Each structure stands twice: as structure tokens, then as C-alpha cells.
Structure 1
Amino acid sequence: MAKWGEGDPRWIVEERADATNVNNWHWTERDATNWSSEKLKELLMGLRVESDDGMCEITEFSKVEGEASINNRKGKLIFFYEWNLKATWTVHAI
């Protein structure tokens, strides 16, 4: 532990009357559920996997449930997510 006044210069909350979270040094969290839900649909809708045996394509999402968040602690990004997806796909065999 540092002596009084010799700590990390980024740790300045105690010196501020408004206790502002300078440079996101302390834990901050942002909800990314809506953005990531739309992004998952955008990336996966119409996805095709082909092989010598045939082709499979995602055609519809009937369930997109879950959550996602972006956290910042001491300048490092931490991502949390949990998704439950249910999709319909078509298969064309050769």
C-alpha cells in the first residue's frame, strides 16, 4: 500500500468535491443488449454453410433473448454476454 499522497496519480476521486470518475478509472458499465441483439441478427441472418454434401442457410430468428454489457475498470474493457438464440434454417442436400 502506498503512503498517503504517493498513490497512483489517476486515483484522484478523493481530491474532487464532485467525486467524478476521471478517465473511467473506477468501474463503469454500459448496457449493450439492444445493439448486440440487432448485430447478432444482422451477422447471422442469411448465413450459409456449404460443403460437398449440401448447403445450410439461416432463414429466421424466432427467439433472441439475453443480455450484454461493456464494463470498464482501470482503463480495461471487460465484456459480459449471455444469449439464447433460436433460429430456423433450410438445408439443401446434394
Structure 2
Amino acid sequence: MVVHNPNNWHWIDRNCLPWSKDYFNEKVVDTAFENEQYRFVLSSVDSVTGDCDVTQRKGKVLCIYDMKLSFSVNGEIKGSEEEQLVKATISIPEFVHDQDEDDYVFEISADEKKAEIRKYFVPLLKEKLLKFQGDLLEAHAQEVQHSTS
């Protein structure tokens, strides 16, 4: 048997951007916040661009990603006689593998209730985004390493 990568020493990359798009559609779409005043729901993933790779070098599995994300949010303002709908876009210009939770920037474009979306909905979205790195590694670590036994 010929071993092309003994002890997983050489650098191996796997492009995971297509997987990332599917991941956000599966895990983030339909994220919702509701209270007696508002209801906000992430209705679609508008774009996922940039780089997302799982790599392996010298036996260590890492992920490296730098993406720009954009989501559509629909909502409603409750308690009025006439139904008031809210439409918004949330963009994350830099979603990066070595970013601290407090460094996320959420750019919100909304016809109204921008502050409420930031206060109530963004924390739920951030919670889901924080799971991405672990899920990415779990899904692809075995694909970049060869069995050494």
C-alpha cells in the first residue's frame, strides 16, 4: 500500500463554501423571535460569499473561513388594528473563523423597527452563528485526514 500523506503531514484543503450555504439554509432559516409586541422571522439566506475551508496540516484539523453573509427578515408589529409588516436585511460583512463573539458586526437595513430587530432578534441569530465553527469541523474533519492505522 502506498501512503501519499504519511501521518497526515501534508497540507490538505477542502472547500466548504457550498456546504456552508446549505448549513445556513438548514440551521438559520426560520429562526424566530416573538413577544406580545413583535414577531421577527429569518425568511431567507440571501447570500453567502467568501472562503470557507477545512484544512489539515501536520495532523491538525483547522477551519479557515472569511465570509460575508446576508439574510432577509420578515416581521410584524402586533397590537394595532391594521397589520403592520416589517421587512429587513441583516448583513454580516465579516464572519471570520478567529473572530470573538463581541466582534460580530450586524448591519441592519429595515423600513422600521431596526432597534427592535437588533435588541430582540440579533442575539438569537448570533447564538446560531456561534455553532457554525464546531459543526463545520465535525462535518468535515474526517474528510481531510487519512487513517494512520
1:8-40 residue CA offsets vs partner (Å, 9 max, x unmatched):
xxxxxxxxxx78211312221111111112111
Residue in structure 2 matched with residue 62 of structure 1 by the alignment: 46
Q: Which amino acid aligns with 1:68?
A: C
Residue in structure 2 matched with residue 72 of structure 1 by the alignment: 56
Alignment of 1:21-60 (within 5 A): 21-51=5-35, 53-60=37-44
Separation of aligned partners in 1, 2:60 and 2:43: 37
TM-score if structure 2 supplies the norm length? 0.45
Residue in structure 2 matched with residue 90 of structure 1 by the alignment: 74
Q: Which amino acid aligns with 1:90?
A: N
Separation of aligned partners in 1, 2:73 and 2:48: 15
Separation of aligned partners in 2, 1:64 and 1:45: 13
RMSD: 2.1
The alignment-based identity, stated in percent, is: 25
What is the DSSP-based 3-state SS (H/G/I as helix, E as strand, rest coil) of the residue aligned with 2:33?
A: strand
TM-score if structure 1 supplies the norm length? 0.66
What is the count of residue pairs matched by the alignment? 77
1:28-82 residue CA offsets vs partner (Å, 9 max, x unmatched):
1111111112111211111112345422101122222122101112221110112
Point out the structure with the larger strand share: 1
Q: Which has the higher contact order (CA 8 A, sep 6+)?
A: 1
Separation of aligned partners in 2, 1:89 and 1:68: 24
Structure 2 portions without partners, runs of 5+: 79-149
Structure 1 portions without partners, runs of 5+: 1-17
Larger-gyration structure (1/2): 1
Point out the structure with the larger helix share: 2
